[in-house]
A and B are shown apart, each in its own frame.
Chain A
Amino acid sequence: MNDAEDNVALDELGELGLVSYVDFVSREPFLYESGSEIPGFSLRYETYGHLNEAKSNVVLISHALTADHHCAGINSLQDRKPGWWNNMIGPGKPIDTNRFFVICSNCLGGCQGSTGPTSINPETGRPYQLEFPFVSIRDMVKAQKRLLDHLGVSKLHAVVGGSMGGMQVLQWAIEYPDLVERILPMATTSRQGSQAIAFNEVGRQAIMQDPEWMQGNYKENVGPRVGLAIARMMAHITYLSDKGMDMKFGRRRRSKNSDTNFSFDVDFEVESYLRYQGQSFINRFDANTYLYFTKALDYFDLEGQYGSLEKAFEGLQSKVLVIGFTSDWLFPPEGNREIVLAMLRAGKDASYAEIALDFGHDSFLVESPDLYELVRAFLDSD
């Protein structure tokens, strides 16, 4: 890509252009849900748009398992791709940065600049690795609350997120009912089901059975690369759908010759795609964080934690819109619906919309005018 092309891209209406991250450091001890404590932590975050004088235009974005704080714009002109939700966030976009001050923070336990297993344990002078405390969805939210306090934000116009982000969104409304005016969880669940735990366990085993994992004590830039890549390849399948994959890859071959090759090399397009996904993932994600975050997902169970979903949502004051996607078989529509039904039974203001898209769990990330309209309408609603 040359400079001229970059400029064209940056001038386009609706693009944030260059953005940069900030590191928030909390020097207060942090007590985890598990009972463990760390002396402090840092969170890497980005903000877009301007905080208004009343500090009433904040939209917090919660990210999914392997995403991060960089959800829109580009960090450098060399970036090949913008932030992970760039189609949703920007000037004039559904989450309109001309109106809203958007905050997105990397989660506690993460590997993209926030304190996590690769960070140095101040008590030992070595990376935490498996000495890092088990992190829960609630811990992620509580850590980010400190960031909001630091920014002087005491009202959230909305908290928005899909998948693991959706779990955090629910937890925000439960934990800080006075703070959160609207929540928009999508493609999520109130309780990690058995199938989702099972897939996560296969991923974890792929990592932990890789000899390079070394009980979590691998050195920087090495580690269970094979295991992590396999975990990602498998998990990636659960983010798509049968129909979506068939539309995208079909039985297409890498070589022009579609005869059967009788080879174990990359033959089908879908094999090539998954291998690429695995390879690119190991260059940006830490294996131990993957273990911690998938466990955070697996332990997430609002029903178990609060006795019932109705009890979990008892204190809710936010206006709610949950969005499910028809082809999502990881967090299927039923689980999303159940959240809304429980909220309604608890007497809360909760709406449910379902979007027909063929892209599986990842549908919330694809370009969809239906989704855009719903998000825009909900953020505008009283």
Chain B
Amino acid sequence: MKKASEKRSVDMQIISDWIEPGSRILDLGCGRGVMLDFLKQKKSVVGIGVDSDPSKILTGVKKGLTVYQGDIEAFLASFPDGFFDRVLCSRTLPELSQPSKIMNEALRVGRRLTIGFVNQGYWKSRFGMLFGGGRLINEVHPYEWHESRPSNPVSIKEFEEYCTKEKISIARKVYLAGDWKTPCHFRSNFFGGYALYDLAR
């Protein structure tokens, strides 16, 4: 568990560094509100978290966070353009049923969109499938196939190709190695375990 929380803290720290103090944040798939709570304390953000899981919403209420139980797409549709300074989509992307639609909507209601995901192109994932014949289990995707929700994993290469095609500009990005801690500067789609992007239209 210690390892997991350590892994967690690096990407939270990076996202936190990107955020202006006091800004209005929307966290899509906020889970138990760990990130929101962190950003509230570190950057005094005005944050709203959306999640569909009632038990996670309860935890958010317990922490005194502002949380909304419901569907991400319907939530986004209820807000005017540029309402949020930043929309966060941390470890949520592979679970969205229509990622492009949600990214477009997030870029409409938010002036920035911050996305973090586990790189499916990471060498261990490739080798795991090639030699082990199965998926890689990690902190973000900890479950075997029969216990997990439908997931739509994405690689750094695929994601960046999509951004180019859709003319989404990547203002900032960080690749982390397999430990999700050390920066990765070399052949990121192969050696990078985790990727973080700050996007804008």
Contacts and interface: CB of A to CB of B under 8 A. Distances in A.
Interface in B80-94: 80, 83
A381 B75 CA distance: 24
Interface stretch (B6-14, B66-74, B95-103, B145-153): B66-74
Interface stretch (B54-62, B155-163, B181-189): B54-62
B83 A351 contact: no
In which size bucket is the chain B interface? 20 to 34
B62 A381 contact: yes
A345 B61 contact: no
A231 B96 CA distance: 47
B54 A354 contact: yes
Given A381-B61, A381-B62, A353 B79 contact: no
Contact of A349 (B60, B63, B66): B66
B78 interface: yes
B58 A377 contact: yes
A344 B61 contact: no
Contacts of B142: none
A352 B68 CA distance: 5
A380 B48 contact: no
A291 B99 CA distance: 51
Contact of B66 (A337, A350, A354): A350
Nearest to B62: A377
Given A345-B83, A353-B57, A340 B62 contact: no
Contacts of B78: 341, 345
Interface in A340-378: 340-341, 344-345, 347, 349-356, 370, 373-374, 377-378
A214 to B, nearest CB: 49
Interface residues of A, number: 23
Contacts of A350: 66
Contact of A352 (B58, B63, B69): B69
B64 A382 contact: yes
Contacts of B67: 351-353
Interface string A238-281: 00000000000000000000000000000000000000000000
Nearest to B61: A377
Interface in A168-187: none
A321 interface: yes
A381 B64 contact: yes
Nearest to B80: A345
Given A345-B78, A374-B61, A351 B66 contact: yes
Nearest to B65: A351
Contacts of B54: 353-356, 370
B32 to A, nearest CB: 13
A354 B62 CA distance: 15
Nearest to A343: B66
Contacts of A378: 61
Contacts of A351: 57, 60-61, 65-68
A215 B83 CA distance: 54
Interface string A92-123: 00000000000000000000000000000000
Contacts of A347: 46
Nearest to B78: A341
A324 B80 CA distance: 24
B201 to A, nearest CB: 21
A349 B49 CA distance: 11
B61 A353 contact: yes
18 contacts: A340-B68, A341-B75, A341-B78, A344-B79, A345-B80, A351-B60, A351-B66, A352-B70, A353-B58, A354-B54, A354-B69, A355-B54, A370-B58, A373-B58, A374-B58, A381-B61, A381-B63, A382-B64
Complex A-B, nearest 3 residue pairs according to Cβ-Cβ distance, in ascending order: A381-B64, A377-B62, A341-B78
Interface of A: 321, 337, 340-341, 344-345, 347, 349-356, 370, 373-374, 377-378, 380-382
